[in-house]
Amino acid sequence: MKFLSQLISGISLGSIYSLIALGYTMVYGIAKMLNFAHGDVIMIGAFVVYTACVTGGLSPVLGVLLAIVVCTILGVVIERLAYKPLRAAASLAVLITAIGVSYFLQNMALLVFGSDTKQFSSVVSLEPVSLANGNLVITGETIVTIVVSLIIMIALYLFVNRTKPGKAMLAVSEDKGAAQLMGINVNGMIALTFAIGSALAAIAGALLCSAYPALSPYTGAMPGIKAFVAAVFGGIGSIPGAMVGGILLGIIENLSKGYISSQLSDAIVFAVLILVLLLRPTGIMGKKINEKV
């Protein structure tokens, strides 16, 4: 029973990682850049929901929709101001810029919202499912997060592989120059990628803070890094990989907390990551790319 209960906690933590990792992997897969500010866009999304629902008194659905709109605009603006001028620069420069944007967002939030932790009100009103005389409880947040992650995963997969803008995105990710010659608006496609990634961040922010209702300007930072690990774990750039990587990471983290040591859990998680990368350098579901010489 204890094992099942620890497993369920692991899945619920993992489903959050999956949801965040989907955003990471989406941007990496198309724009080939690590958007380290993703975790902080999540935090901004959560603050928008908090402000709309708690301070403004809007319904949770409206709050989340508003957050999606704000984050989408924010994502596109960040891309236009911070990343687009560096399109031709080395990838390291873009990476450092992303870290800069991350700190910028955190400090902006500190200025605007202050450093006090805020108690987030859950946007999920689903009742928890109680099994085995209340010894196993699956919260409404967990169920909603898993369902939402699955829907987003399938929708993204279909969008990228079946629709015209999706295929254009794939073309951009494979070869920017060739895509441009074929008449694809490369900058437009990358902006679209960021718009989608940031919209996902808004949803992730709302669900992250519903499951763990302490909201501060640093809320997004650590889950963002863990979700990045999950994305690498599953194979960065692979949409189903992000889902699988997130869930596995959550389960490993929780079982090592529950059965080995609550102090060492992070060390164990990263040790497993190293092991996986040694055996499968592209991650669990990552595609092996053979460079043609």
Binding residues (CB under 8 A) for another protein: these are 2, 5-6, 9-10, 12-13, 50, 54, 116-121, 128, 130, 134, 137, 139, 212-214, 216, 222-223, 253-255, 257-258, 261-263, 265-266
Q: How far apart are CA 76 and CA 245, in angstroms?
A: 27
Give the shortest CB-261-to-another protein separation in angstroms.
Answer: 8
CB of 92 to another protein, least distance (A): 25
**Identity of the residue, 79 or 253, whose beta carbon is nearer to another protein in the bound complex:** 253
Residue number with CB closer to another protein (114 or 281): 114
Q: How far is the CB of 240 from another protein (least distance, A)?
A: 24
Bridge-based pairing of strands 118-119 and 129-131 is unpaired
Strand partners, 215: 118
Distance CA 131, CA 1 (A): 11
Nearest CB to another protein, comparing residues 89 and 267: 267
Cα(17)–Cα(244) distance, rounded to whole angstroms?
10
Q: CA-based angle 7:13:18, to the nearest 5? A: 115
- If the CB atoms of residues 209 and 236 are measured against another protein, the closer one turns out to be 209
| CB of residue 116 to another protein, shortest distance in Å | 6
Q: Is the separation of the CB atoms in 217 and 106 below 8 Å?
A: yes
Which of 89, 132 has the CB closer to another protein?
132
> If you search the block for the tokens 């805020």, which residue do you land on?
118
Strand-pairing partners, residue 137, are 130
Whole-angstrom distance, CA of residue 147 vs CA of residue 266: 27
Where would I find the H helices in 163-185?
164-174, 176-181
Task: Decide: helix, strand or coil at residue 32.
Answer: coil
Instruction: Tell me how far apart the alpha carbons of residues 267 and 35 are, in angstroms, rounded to a whole number.
Output: 24
Q: Taking the complex as a whole, how short is the minimal distance between the CB of residue 152 and another protein, in angstroms?
A: 21
How many residues in the chain?
A: 293
In the complex, the smallest distance separating the C-beta of residue 214 from another protein, rounded to whole angstroms, is 5
The H or E element that residue 214 is part of is strand 214-215
Task: Tell me whether residue 5 or residue 282 sits nearer to another protein (CB atom).
Answer: 5
Query: What whole-number distance in Å separates Cα of residue 92 and Cα of residue 89?
Result: 8
Distance in Å, CB of 68 to another protein, minimum: 22
> Is 38:27 a contact under the CB 8 Å cutoff?
yes
Q: Which CB sits closer to another protein, 170 or 272?
A: 272
